[in-house]
Structure 1
Amino acid sequence: MGCSPHTLSSASSASARHRPDHFFTARHRAPPRGIAVYQSARRAKRTSRRFVTLAAAAALACAGVTPASAADRQDRPVRHNFAEAFFWNVSTPRIAPDGANDWSCRPSAAHPHPVILLHGTLENMHDNWAAAAPLLANNGYCVFALNFGGLTPDAWAQGTGDIRDSAHELAAFVDAVRRSTGAAEVDIVGHSQGAMMPRYYLKYLGGADKVNRLVGLAPPNHGTTLVGLTELGKQLNLLGLVNSGLNAVAPAMTQQEVDSDFLNDLNRNGDTVSGVHYTVIATKYDQIVTPYTSSLLSGRNVDNIVVQDSCPLDYSEHLELSYDPIALTLMLNALDPAHPRPVPCLLVLPLTGPVL
């Protein structure tokens, strides 16, 4: 059994992990002043849970092969099983994923842009990013994550509120990360709604001057038919009734439907804005964003990637994609195109990940 490329890479200057309930410590300086209200709502005690999957065990075994700076490197376990991570993490939405939200982190010359991770609808930062956050931290990035759009800060299902309001939450968080790290721009990696919502921030809230790259995993950029259910609802004259109920509790869900007013406005006059590079990573087995081609963007500064073009053995669907080692390698390459890693090819099952 070989080692996948992303497990062999390590950080050259990783910082100590941050506990979100203790901003004022000798090792971690206070968060930026402008985000104090936001963070007080999100503050919670951090517990440490580490479950070393076979893939993570392989990463640890391989770590000694490529020591970049052994004194500074931190080898955090990287899970590749969505179902396992969701089971353990969904009920603790306030806990940042391992490797994220160390407000003392300073970007390195190799990775000058902090990475902000944005979860999908009905998910949270803890259950969505148990793979990407430690992987990015292991590779030397300053990593940050937030919850947005929840009915309450404690709600396990975040990302249900009006997407325009969530974009304003993102705007405040980006400014906080920039102030804390000293970086002029950030990179954003999002999954599902978390990969589409930033486009509103870029287009309407001044984000284009503060974001270098947007990497999206299975975004509903042009809406979803929910495997044809929206069209069936129209034919049965039920869609309006269902949407009225959803709008009362989860407007983000109707905003992501094909031909919604929100998406028509977002995509008017083009999918992209100048100055930002976009990468879309999609899977043809997506059961949430349908058709999967709805994820793809048009524009001169866009790279559209379908994971099965890199590996036909990858059966990742919408949920597993943010844990998929193939998609995550493509993510690393999108963030650092000057130093591309070989993309592995291995059998990846829906929901449960690689078969090793």
Structure 2
Amino acid sequence: MHRRVLTPLVATVTAVGLAMTVGACSAPDDSAASSSSVAAEPSALPVTIDHRYGTTTIDATAARIATLGPGDGDTLLALGITPTTMVPFSDPTEKTVIAPWNEKALEGKEPVVLGQGSQDLSSVIPKALATNPDLILAVNNAVTRSQYDNLAKVAPTVVRPEQYQDWTVPWTASTTEIGRAVGKPAETAKLISATEKEFTDAKAANPQLVGRTGAVVIGSAGGGLSIYSPGDGRGQMLTNLGLEFPASLQPSITNGFYGSISDENLGLLGGLDKLVVVDWQGSTDALRANPAFMNLDVVKRGDVVFLDQVTGSAMSVPTVLTIPWVLQKLVPQLAS
């Protein structure tokens, strides 16, 4: 299953050849692809960023920044920078990237929407390059070597840190990397500290959650469900609240950041202290109608949190904008 599109029908990220010719990009539509930049902090630039494919040196403040990963744009918005492009968090057919957590930060501006960006990156690269970026950020995406090489020919390009797998970069690491790339490390550190305080305050107010076991799942169309690893964005939300992913479920994680559990094996979830179910196009209704799921101890105790599709999408990509918004909805239900 692909990370940002929450449907459990897609099991892998397809590496598609880059169908574009460098230098053949059309001029940007300034009405849709406008970008804003903010002056870098003193001595913050030039900076060299280490990442999966080597290093990228950024010499000066970028005026037009294209973001190619879900959540990458949120970090820029929090820093007062509007990117030329953004990838929506969930539905690839979305025509907007405006969401409840970033609406104020966008202030009526809307970057070019890269609807298929998390599902088929190659297909949206020409659209991103048409905005004439002078910096490309693709930290929260699965970027192939050939895609990176072609992007780097156009503008300095930053991808995920080497030490993390695709789709499992901790939100603190991705935020730090993006903040350094735009020359605002000190302001970014303050944003991270303020966001970490949201988790600290939530744990202090609900100590009964700390050390308990928990997991995040979504119903599958063919029965059973998908379960997310603690490294996935959804899993990160729980571990940052002090919950622990049990070792007994680790073998279920077979695809990097998620795995599948059939109806016959749903009993594996019965011993959880807390279970979070995120919806995708009615998948939760199917789970509620599944006797094997409804008979789990954790369900019968009422220790299940059901989240709607929008909240689940926000939870899938923890950012300094989504985290406070999600916690307001998630924590009261977990605590009860």
Please give the TM-score of this superposition, normalised by the length of structure 1.
Answer: 0.29
Name the TM-score, length of structure 2 as normaliser.
Answer: 0.31
